[in-house]
Structure 1
Amino acid sequence: MSAAPTDRKTAWAVAQRLREGGSIGAAADAVVALWQTAQGDRGETLAALDFLTECGAHGRALPVVHVARQRWRGDAPIAARAGEIALALGLFDEAAGALREAITLNPKQGAAWLRLAHCRRFEADDTDVQRLRRAWSGTDFDEATRTCIGFAFGKALDDLGDYALAARVLTEANALARKTSPWRVDDWRRFVDAQLRASALPALPVDAEFNPIFVVGMPRSGTTLVASTLARHAEVRDRGELNWVPALRNLLAEQRQSHNPQALATIARLIRAQMQRDDAPARFHLDKNPLNFRYLDFIAACFPNARIVHCRRDARDTALSIWMQHFAHADLGFAYDFADIAEVRKDGAKLMTHWQSRLALATIEVDYEAFVAGPQTQRDRLDAFLGLERDATHPVAAENPAIVTTASVWQVRQPVYTHALQRWRNYAPYLPALTALFPAPPA
């Protein structure tokens, strides 16, 4: 789709409507065509890149950002976007180069520091470690940027095995992040209590032509690993971490329409469109937003035939892994305090028990430790649960996912390994809350 300058606002509106209707491929096509008529406009280029990445169309964004980097050399925001896009596609060397350029041009780009840390596992003589060390020792950064540098440097120190310094750096970074987080434990407790007391929602009829999978659990419990493994099957499409379920569920609640079957049906059609999209058809479509465990009653009402994959992991390893990440979404604001993580973990288990006793959703539980110990065995369990035939051309660790935008972006593209098992033991001497607030693993 091309458009004259006077029609550009309308053309963008059309692209937005296509995206909202689930026609992601058509929306991406429209925006790329629109950008091609205005390649010399930096604002239009940045808008196109933002739109494409928000759609998950990183493959379409890559040639756009390559052109942009050639046209606007020395442009820090464009270099940062180039790094973001390449990282999501698993182009780690390209990503690191672009992110280094972005940081050199403007060291106050916090997200660029975070993404650089996730391009690889650091070695002792890595120049990027020295870059992070100097930045952390500097005084020229605002708190938001320093927070990002702290999480990035902490990750590098963990890679190097300097757990004592990593604990100190990450303690400060988490304290900074918590200062600006809107998440409050009292709000969480009220929400959980309301969910446990809520009356049942009316269930819509089963839509036999749509089979959604929701991978849920605590963040950092293996949801990305499980989702990417499932997506290697030709009959499964992984849509990543979608926010449609919480956003639309909360919209209905605000409008007091949660028990209105017509309103539920409208919302279910919207979610279905965002999961099915307009690419090649598949038997299953997957949403791996881990916090969807909060809303399984809503999912059951909209999609009675949904399959739930509940990921679990050692409590201390989960808590540590959450605490070591800087999350963008406000719903994950509990990540910066071990007491808050413990509260969410406890109540998450309570909610899952409640849903399993009350809902008829087909559910399977996958333990991270079991997956790491025997990935093919767990793949077989998942295939049997979904009724998928073994696809011999896709063994568990043989193929990398196309797009990953979570903190697992590097790890999920590596062979399944045991490095993350019992990781909490490295930090127990320096983080007493880990052993005080979370149960010990089984002997």
Structure 2
Amino acid sequence: MSNSISPATTVQAALHLHQRGDVDAAESVYRRVLDAEPNNVDALHLLGMLLLEQGNPKKSETLLRSASTHAPSSGILANSLGVCLMRQARYNEALAQFQLALKFERSGVDVLQNMGEVCEKLQRFEEAIKYWERLLGIAPDHDEVRRLLASVLEDSGEIQQAAAHLFYVVCRDTAKERDVLALANLLQRNLQTEAVLSECRQRLSRNPDHVGLNQLVGCVLASRLSPTHAAQLSLPEQRELRLSAIAHLERAAEVRPSHLSYDLVGRNLMEIHCPEKAIVWFEKAVASNPAFAPAYECLGAALLSLGETDAATDAFERALKLYPRSPLANFELARLRQCPSEPTISQIKHELSSAKILRDDRILLHAALGHRYLSEEQPEAAWKHFCESGELKTDQEPRVCAEIYRADAIIESFPKARPLIRDNSSRPLSYKMIFIVGMPRSGTTLLEQILASHDSVTGCGELTFISSLAGGLSKRYGIEGGVPEASWQMSDEQTQALRHEYLNEVDRLLADDPLPAKKRYAIDKMPTNFRFLGLIRQLFPDSKILHVSRDPRDVAVSCLEQNLAWPFCVPSDLSTYIQHYQQIMRHAEELIGPDLLTVRYERLVQTPRDEIASILTFLGLPWRAECLRFNETKRAVNTPSKQQVRQPIYTGSVGKWKQYADCDTEFFQSIEPAIMQVD
């Protein structure tokens, strides 16, 4: 080192190299300074931090402690040593160093942030909040601390305060997409979204291109289309909400194009069941950042819903290459029986042992493990993980299945529902409705795919229209009682209005059909509409009802394997649900009579030609060979059966429950009465 250059100047030159990313050159210069001047505090400090960045905390600690002995009153050094100790999970020692740093740097922003973080690690949450709030008094625009505060406050149940911190970040337009999603979820939980939406709209009126606010409004509006919230809206209101949500999200992506903003649009399009549109945005995301694993996951899910199994598999495999522990990719590939060699079962189990893994990811990984064990012919281990996945989904769900589904009330009100005798409107209607009902995983998707292959039938998929109309009856007409009691109190005019509202939405779905004039039937295949058959017959007395019945044991195990929502994910609740479903369907068969046909799944797959011919005769339709080639029909399928309906008919799922017979004898005994009803 030249005598004309001071050590301080040389250290500054090394720091410049360090900040530029040339760490090898920086380390070399720091060491040259220390060779000439072993007690140079700045060189000891900066080399210590460089080594910490490179993953050498022990060597870093040695240098930082040496520097501290020569500068014991340095708050900056004490803070750096605290960071080094925190990286080693030595939290109490780190806390002591931060307290020392705070003694010398009372208004140090970095020290206050670190104090909060180490207190959080030590589960001293009130102290963590105190330090972070003190920091925000000095630096109110510190986004990262607001994120940390929001997380701790949420865990403490202070949802409104947590949301306020994230809203501050979003309003500054410095938010990341994960901030927007976190805030949207908090607002859903707090159920105080109107004031926030009003504030967002006021701000957007002044700045229409504000990215964070457009994203927030889009996410909140999309969340209102979930079944629980949508039931409070009319069908036109739901449609307007859907269009508005997409418009806000697309506006944000146009203003600030990035893989994250594209991914956010795609995720919300999937939430509102628009996979074709979602694919466009996920493809934009991976084109913008080919290393972004989450977009490949979601792209795979969207492609799978459209029957593009090979392309979906490729997308999931790409996600796993980038992030081997990807929960969704692991689950879907396992379900497709295309389990990758990495991660192994033991690796996934190790991941599940981590306390840091998110609840939703834990659910998917348990389900993925279940399928992994199935592929290795270990049904007992598979059953255990399927059940653990299901139990995790019931943390915040109501568990009183009998009260929620109210079979007795549905049966009691059924005869009282008055059919619409005459539609007084002048609107022409070229098609009639077919409603396919039954248990989830009973074969309803297969039957719809078969019938949608007929040139006189259009399959509309699982429409939520009936449940939305039913759920909003009391609010709309001011009728006392909920569903089903409210339905039989409607006037003819109210009944006709609901019928038209439903048909208007179906008309919009059929608008893209290339041969609408030839279609005599449109299918609404929402299995759980069996709960609303009274309302359906009231609105559509000329409709046909197809009830798909399957061995309840096979239904049950298939529900558990497919990662369905409550009550289909917990054996005891599922058993109760099956019993209530059968009570309702026995009653419906007696009342509806010749307009209801029960289709046995087992007969459909074992003698498909005969069964399909009988169904077409019931519908008054001629035979079409295309119905046997249903797997060649191109249409979106957004149910867990999306893969199966792309294959020819097979009987491999009949009696599938037998491999689990010894895993939960109490459960299978509980549904024995239901088996008797099917037989």
TM-score above 0.5, yes or no: yes
Contact in 2 for aligned 1:77/1:102 (Cα 8 Å): yes
Pairs within 5 Å for 1:55-66: 56-66=273-283
* Counterpart among 467, 474, 479 of residue 246 in structure 1: 467
Distance 2:578 2:669 in 1: 14
Could you say which residue in structure 2 is the equivalent of 1:163? 379
Q: Which residue of 2 aligns with 1:232?
A: 453
Instruction: For 1:398 and 1:365, locate their aligned partners in 2 and report how far apart those are by CA, in whole Å.
Output: 23
Counterpart Cα distance in 1 of 2:340 and 2:268: 33
How far does residue 165 in structure 1 lie from its aligned partner after superposition? 1.7
Q: Which residue of 1 aligns with 2:400?
A: 184
Q: Which residue of 2 aligns with 1:266?
A: 497
Question: Secondary structure at the residue paired with 2:434?
Answer: strand
The answer to whether the 8 A contact 1:379-1:396 is kept is no
Q: Which amino acid aligns with 2:400?
A: R
Give the secondary-structure state (helix, strand or coil) at the position aligned to 1:202. coil
Confirm or deny: 8 A CA contact 2:263 2:281 kept in the other structure: no
Is the aligned partner of 1:284 residue 2:551? no
| Pairing partner for 1:309 from 530, 533, 546 | 546
For the residue of structure 1 that corresponds to 2:599, the secondary structure is strand
CA, structure 1 residues 234+168, in 2 after alignment: closer, same or farther (shift >3 Å)?
Answer: same
Per-residue CA distance 1:403-443 (angstroms, 9 max, x = gap): 12211121221121121111111111122134311226799
Instruction: Quote the Cα distance in structure 1 between the aligned partners of 2:460 and 2:595.
Output: 20
State how far apart, in whole Å, the 1-side matches of 2:248 and 2:621 are: 36
Which of 137, 148, 153 lines up with 2:350 in the alignment?
137
Residues 220-252 of structure 1, C-alpha deviation per residue, up to 9 Å, x if partnerless? 111111111111112212121111211210110
Change (3 A) 1:336 1:62: closer
What residue in structure 1 maps to residue 308 of structure 2?
A: 91
Say which of 399, 408, 411 aligns to 1:193: 408
- SS, match of residue 472 in structure 2: helix
Contact 1:32 1:48 in 2 (8 A): no
Partner amino acid, structure 2, of 1:149: L
Q: CA offset at residue 110 of structure 1? A: 4.5
Please say if residues 317 and 424 of structure 1, whose CA atoms lie closer than 8 Å, have aligned partners that are also in contact. Answer: yes
Residue 143 of structure 1 and its aligned partner are, at CA, apart by 3.1
Distance 1:183 1:217 in 2: 21
1:341 aligns with 2:574: yes
1:259-408 alignment runs, 5 A limit: 259-276=490-507, 277=509, 278-280=511-513, 281=516, 282-328=519-565, 333-359=566-592, 362-408=595-641
Task: Tell me if the contact between 1:83 and 1:98 (Cα under 8 Å) persists in the aligned partners.
Answer: yes
Q: 8 Å contact 1:62–1:82 — kept in the other structure?
A: yes
Distance 1:55 1:283, change over 3 A: farther
For the Cα contact (< 8 Å) 2:631–2:646, is it kept in 1?
no
1:240/1:38 Cα in 2 relative to 1: closer, same or farther (>3 Å)? farther
How many residue pairs were aligned?
A: 424
SS in 1 for 2:458: strand
Give CA-to-partner distance per residue, 1:240-272, whole Å, 9 cap, x none: 111121121011034426313333322222222
- Counterpart amino acid of residue 170 in structure 1: F
Aligned pair partner of 2:366 in 127, 150, 154: 150
- Give me the whole-angstrom Cα distance separating, in 1, the residues matched to 2:399 and 2:371: 24
Mapped to 1, the partners of 2:612 and 2:238 lie a distance apart of 29
2:305–2:636 CA contact under 8 A, matched in 1: yes
Give yes or no for contact 2:451–2:627 (8 Å, CA) kept in 1: no
What is the Cα-based RMSD across aligned positions, in Å? 3.5
- Report what 1:70 is aligned to: 287
Higher helix share: 2
Contact 1:49 1:61 in 2 (8 A): yes
Q: Deviations over 1:81-121 (max 9, x none)?
A: 21121111222232233234445656786444433333x22
Return the alpha-carbon distance in structure 2 between the equivalents of residues 202 and 397 of structure 1: 37
Percent of matched pairs sharing the same residue? 24
**Alpha-carbon offset, residue 318 of structure 1:** 1.4
User: CA contact under 8 A between 2:286 and 2:292: conserved in structure 1?
Assistant: yes
Cα contact 2:572–2:667 (8 A) shared by 1: no
1:395 partner SS: helix
Q: From 331, 334, 344, give the equivalent of 1:117.
A: 334
Q: Does 1:127 align with 2:348?
A: no
Matches of 1:79 and 1:344, distance apart in 2: 36
Which stretch shifts more, 142-151 or 302-311? Answer: 142-151
1:372–1:51 CA distance, 2 compared to 1 (3 A): same
SS where residue 219 of structure 1 aligns?
Answer: coil
After superposing the two structures, state which structure 1 stretch, 50-59 or 266-275, moved more: 50-59
Secondary structure at the aligned position of 2:568 is classed as helix
Contact 1:300 1:306 in 2 (8 A): yes
Which residue among 353, 373, 390 is the counterpart of 1:174? 390
Deviation at 1:183, TM superposition (A): 4.2
Work out the CA distance in 1 between the residues paired with 2:209 and 2:433: 38
Structure 1 residue 370: Cα displacement: 0.2
The alignment's TM-score, normalised by the length of structure 1, stands at 0.83
CA distance in 1, matches of 2:668, 2:654: 16
Look up the SS of the partner of 2:625 in the other structure. coil
Quote the residue 1:213 is aligned against.
434
User: Mean Cα displacement is larger for which, 304-313 or 152-161?
Assistant: 152-161
CA contact (8 A) 1:167 1:427 kept: yes
Q: State the TM-score, normalized to the length of structure 2.
A: 0.56
350-359 or 146-155: bigger deviation = 350-359
Query: Does the Cα contact within 8 Å between 1:222 and 1:311 map onto a contact in 2?
Result: yes
Q: How many angstroms does 1:21 deviate by?
A: 8.0
CA contact (8 A) 2:549 2:601 kept: yes
> Larger relative contact order (C-alpha < 8 A, sep ≥ 6)?
1
Q: Comparing 316-325 with 251-260, which one deviates more in the overlay?
A: 251-260
C-alpha separation in 1, matches of 2:651 and 2:343: 27
Larger Rg: 2
The alignment partner of 1:402 has SS state of coil
Corresponding residue for residue 433 of structure 1 = 666
Find the aligned partners of 2:301 and 2:282 in 1 and give their Cα distance: 10
Q: 1:342 to 1:34 in 2, by over 3 A?
A: closer
Gaps of 5+ in 1: none
Cα deviation digits, residues 302-329 of structure 1 (max 9, x gap):
111111110001121112112223224x
Judged with a 3 Å threshold, the aligned counterparts in structure 2 of structure 1 residues 432 and 366 are, in CA distance, closer, same or farther, namely same
| Aligned counterparts of 2:671 and 2:350: Cα–Cα separation in 1 | 32
Check the 8 A contact 2:282/2:299 in 1, yes or no: yes
- Partners in 1 of 2:384 and 2:250 — Cα distance? 48
Q: Deviations along 1:30-82, whole A, 9 cap, x unmatched?
A: 96996796682557634543464456443344334322210133334422321
After superposition, the Cα gap between the structure-2 partners of 1:379 and 1:32, relative to the gap in structure 1 and judged at 3 Å, is farther
In the alignment, the residues of structure 2 paired with residue 264 and residue 110 of structure 1 have an alpha-carbon distance, to the nearest angstrom, of 46
